[in-house]
Structure 1
């Protein structure tokens, strides 16, 4: 064990003594293997120099010092007011700039650290100017908690809020946040800290309750609600999905319908290409804040043919109310033909409109504009096709090619999107675009506005055709389940 590791251990022993909290073990059902899903950030794992500073963890910190979480989401504010945040005030200075980790709020759902950057005059530097080169969570022995990684980074005027997904692959309650940056504005340097923090109090305040309710949608998706977990900063329902045998056969037939129409080596069966939309409401019908954007809720395959474990996250529930989990809709990608041919130069006189089988597509214009997407080349104008569509129950149509990869072989197994073709048969790749849901028309159809861009088209062809073979269709559902409530400690 190195001197640095000894310092960490001694610091955390002191912290543990101050907290004097009993041990708490999470149920075995919540152990998770390493996920192959990539986070928002991909960061190097090496740390060249790290400074460890002792932190003061106080359960009543928020009672006598204004918490920096007061400017963040309401769930974090509430948890800090209840004394679950941990005061840090650990800092390191290099090249005249100081990185400070000021406060941490950690529970079984997420870890959030507040940091700031200051210059020699003690003026705040906007967090945007700080480049984070490495973030890791380890146990006391330095073992990396592999499932824990960045999935959200919020930056305000003076403070950055770094959120990491819940601690995985460990039952340890005393952990270390390793945080490193290598550049502030144009100044390169080394700013690194090791911050011990504790999950004991928030884990003790978290509860897992069984639900065990099952429902099968008319489309053949079986849903089993397993449990609800409530922590100081969030709540989460864990559930399992699986298609019936009859539904599996339909999905296979759907894949055959688009064979040869989309770029796929073999008919790709979309067992996993669906989304369930939930909300939680109280007895008055008031909706609970959705936290799907604030929490990391990946699915995990546990079998074949769409058999997987999933979760839905939302704000903590108040003991003063009764709550229902409501399943609103199922969205799934399936064959959906759209096509229109037109002469671009004649659009100035009159848009082209096609009505067929209850679907309407209208081509408004073809122009050469600046790229809509950051990844597109910036040095030239992009051909931009503006179209509007009126479609029943369609929630999304892919713009450019969507590439699906086989995780085990890293091979492309499916590509699909709009196809742009001229009168000579030349195909122009869609390199960017925009999708907007405008509202409903008088027939109750979704009014959709789309822009398709291609930098491969240098001049207007005489004729163009647009085709799309797949879309995401939404099926309304109405399944309601009462949620069990945690018991308050007496």
Structure 2
């Protein structure tokens, strides 16, 4: 058979051919790469579908039901219906403006294949299905009706979950003490489960500023349990220093809360996660109201599991202190790649490590460091963290620590290498400097110490109100802030454990919030605010630094990552 022209391809897509002609063209298209390309070009070049083609159009509801239940193949198992006569043009203008012309044509073509009964080969049906999937996947997903949409711009994992359709509306309620818990939506994949909920008062009014009445102190406010279909609660082991259950306010008036829990805290291997799980949300307290609000939400992980691929690695490196680092596996899902790294303690002192993934040209694509567990590196930018989710987690036993690190946007079509970038020690610092708080309000103070240049400035104090989580009592405090900018000596990457004593002997332990960058000379630069609470403004502060983090050695250990299928 000769190659097809544009008119023949269009007639085929809209089922305007006799069955024998359609089957003949299908057989040709299945074998002819040139005509497959022409089919794709035809979809790209059509300028006005309204004037190009005509067909008897099924209702929107019929097309929706067909596309929702259409298997990728074999189409031939579907029964043929009677051919319909052409009666009217498709009213393209009434179709969704959110779907591009190419995707609209593909939908109509595939719906016609099923609705009008044309039988095609499974391979060609799959090919047309792939064209449709390719067209629709490239378009922005319709997420404006999801409460998760507001968080998608801040969290790549939530964005990916919306794109893949891992979220669903729930609508479950529970009432206690006249307050109604309403679970609105859930998102679950092989890594996390996230729940969005709100509360209504006795009069049915939505509570706003929910974060103010929902303090999550030490996990006493709520808990998330995950059970199998048999009702047995799955067991896990958490690092007590890390809060795996997180709460974030959602909504224009903070009328909802999003709480989350890593599913992979329970399963190292994603393939062992059951297709169906039950997620139980228990809330014990809302502001000063004690209660017991509980809902159980069934979730289906099967779609996410099918899109998850586990690549075993099991390559080991022994650090100078005897610690054994085992890259156990890499888990690949759409938009993210999770590395499972097992650390076994050595006989020497603790050392921090940095990990990187580089391409075939040595460019660093992603980076992470367990320095984050020992030093408050603060917000981005940060040279040790690149394209990595902040919601990593750890599984611990007596002598092993397993890190689950999620990187974003790693290419699966390139040669990638995982490597240990460097080894770092925490060493005591002798820094000790007396500062006048009054002088710091108006004039910066610069100090040289062991090759580090530190500038302190802009000491301020503001009154804040704190809530005692145990007694639920409010009391006023003073929040102090001191600006820091430090260019560190060669080999020093961070200054940690900021403490102070005032002129009356009161002790303070400052929190460092800021960023770490590298200047043109290769020196690390810290910019941060040092914060702590005070009862009164001191005249003087003697500031001390507990530790310096220093680069000890480079390593030459690396492992190829076989992500290509």
Normalised TM-score (structure 1):
0.59
Describe the superposition over 1:318-365 as per-residue Cα deviations: whole angstroms up to 9, x where unpaired. Answer: 544443435444444222322334566776897654434322344547
1:138 aligns with 2:242: no
Find the counterpart in structure 1 of residue 183 from structure 2.
100
Q: Counterpart of 2:530 in 1: which secondary structure?
A: strand
1:237 aligns with 2:339: yes
Of 282, 300, 303, which residue of structure 2 is paired with 1:198? 300
Instruction: Could you tell me which runs of 5 or more consecutive residues in structure 2 were left unpaired when the two chains were aligned.
Output: 1-68, 70-135, 215-220, 239-243, 367-385, 469-473
Q: Partners in 2 of 1:115 and 1:383 — Cα distance?
A: 35
Q: Is the 8 A contact 1:428 1:456 kept in 2?
A: no
Q: Partners in 1 of 2:288 and 2:464 — Cα distance?
A: 28
Deviation of 1:121 (Å):
7.9
Find the counterpart in structure 1 of residue 393 from structure 2.
297
> Structure 2 vs 1, CA of residues 346 and 78 (structure 1 numbering), >3 Å: closer, same or farther?
closer
Q: Superposed, which structure 2 residues align to 1:1-150 within 5 Å?
A: 68=146, 69=148, 71=150, 72=152, 73-85=155-167, 88-92=170-174, 95=178, 97=180, 99-107=182-190, 109-115=191-197, 128=211, 131=214, 133-147=222-236
Find the counterpart in structure 2 of residue 460 from structure 1.
539
Higher mean Cα deviation, 148-157 or 368-377? 368-377
Q: Partners in 2 of 1:206 and 1:219 — Cα distance?
A: 35
Deviation of 1:99 (Å):
0.7
Find the counterpart in structure 2 of residue 268 from structure 1.
none
Find the counterpart in structure 2 of residue 397 from structure 1.
495
Q: Counterpart of 1:203 in 2: which secondary structure?
A: helix
Find the counterpart in structure 2 of residue 429 from structure 1.
507
Higher helix share: 2
Describe the superposition over 1:255-308 as per-residue Cα deviations: whole angstroms up to 9, x where unpaired. Answer: xxxxxxxxxxxxxxxx2x6353435668795846734323x42152453xxx53
Q: Is the 8 A contact 2:167 2:185 kept in 1?
A: no
Q: Is the 8 A contact 1:340 1:361 kept in 2?
A: no
Q: Partners in 2 of 1:437 and 1:172 — Cα distance?
A: 38
> Structure 2 vs 1, CA of residues 138 and 441 (structure 1 numbering), >3 Å: closer, same or farther?
closer
> Structure 2 vs 1, CA of residues 326 and 195 (structure 1 numbering), >3 Å: closer, same or farther?
same
Q: Partners in 1 of 2:507 and 2:390 — Cα distance?
A: 31
Instruction: Could you tell me which runs of 5 or more consecutive residues in structure 1 were left unpaired when the two chains were aligned.
Output: 1-17, 19-61, 252-270, 400-416
Count of residue correspondences: 375
Q: CA RMSD in A?
A: 4.8
Q: Partners in 2 of 1:219 and 1:444 — Cα distance?
A: 27
> Structure 2 vs 1, CA of residues 452 and 65 (structure 1 numbering), >3 Å: closer, same or farther?
closer
Higher strand share: 1
Describe the superposition over 1:80-99 as per-residue Cα deviations: whole angstroms up to 9, x where unpaired. Answer: 54455455443446748561
Q: Counterpart of 2:431 in 1: which secondary structure?
A: strand
Describe the superposition over 1:162-220 as per-residue Cα deviations: whole angstroms up to 9, x where unpaired. Answer: 32112555766232211244677888876432212233443354332222334456787
Of 540, 549, 560, which residue of structure 2 is paired with 1:472? 549
Q: Superposed, which structure 2 residues align to 1:61-460 within 5 Å?
A: 68=146, 69=148, 71=150, 72=152, 73-85=155-167, 88-92=170-174, 95=178, 97=180, 99-107=182-190, 109-115=191-197, 128=211, 131=214, 133-147=222-236, 151-157=245-251, 160-166=257-263, 168=265, 173=274, 174-181=276-283, 191-215=293-317, 222-231=324-333, 234-242=336-344, 248=348, 251=349, 271=350, 274-279=352-357, 285=363, 287=365, 290-294=387-391, 296-301=392-397, 303=399, 308-315=401-408, 319-341=412-434, 352-364=445-457, 369-370=461-462, 379=476, 381=478, 388-392=485-489, 393-399=491-497, 417-420=498-501, 422=503, 427-437=505-515, 439=517, 444-448=522-526, 449-451=528-530, 453=532, 455=534, 459-460=538-539
Q: Is the 8 A contact 1:88 1:104 kept in 2?
A: no
> Structure 2 vs 1, CA of residues 144 and 371 (structure 1 numbering), >3 Å: closer, same or farther?
farther
Normalised TM-score (structure 2):
0.52
Deviation of 1:156 (Å):
2.6
Q: Counterpart of 1:147 in 2: which secondary structure?
A: coil
Q: Partners in 2 of 1:360 and 1:326 — Cα distance?
A: 32
Higher mean Cα deviation, 321-330 or 172-181? 321-330
Q: Counterpart of 2:305 in 1: which secondary structure?
A: helix
Q: Counterpart of 1:473 in 2: which secondary structure?
A: strand
Q: Partners in 1 of 2:322 and 2:406 — Cα distance?
A: 24
Q: Is the 8 A contact 1:434 1:451 kept in 2?
A: yes
Q: Counterpart of 2:390 in 1: which secondary structure?
A: coil
> Structure 2 vs 1, CA of residues 347 and 293 (structure 1 numbering), >3 Å: closer, same or farther?
closer
Q: Counterpart of 2:295 in 1: which secondary structure?
A: strand
Deviation of 1:429 (Å):
0.9
Q: Counterpart of 2:394 in 1: which secondary structure?
A: coil
